[in-house]
Amino acid sequence: MTVTISSLYGKKIMSGTGRWLGEVGEVVIDLEQGSVSHLLLGKIDANEPGEVIKGLFKNSVEYKRVREVGNTILLKN
């Protein structure tokens, strides 16, 4: 599946069972792989030490869990 990174921002994320999880606030790129790694729910204050790492573990979805990107982002079960 090919999408632009900018098109992901603000999209709602739904679980495979239809539960609303949040909206994409940040997109994390794996530069070594050249692909999206995680979708963060909400914005992160990058000026605060440790906020990015904390956000990855607390408020994110691994992109490999994405089943479909449309008006909303639907995750695999």
Helix or strand holding residue 37 (H, E): strand 35-41
Helix (H, G, I), strand (E, B) or coil at 60: strand
Would you state the pLDDT for residue 61?
93
Per-domain boundaries in the chain = 6-75
Calculate mean pLDDT across residues 21-47.
Answer: 88
Calculate mean pLDDT across residues 4-14.
Answer: 94
**Cα–Cα nearest to 12, from 76, 61, 75, 73:** 73
Would you state the pLDDT for residue 62?
93
Residue 1: band (very low, low, confident or very high) from pLDDT cuts 50, 70, 90: low
Would you state the pLDDT for residue 3?
82
Instruction: Please determine, for residue 52, whether its predicted confidence score (pLDDT) is greater than 70.
Output: no
According to CATH, what is the number of the domain 6-75? Answer: 2.30.30.240
Would you state the pLDDT for residue 43?
75
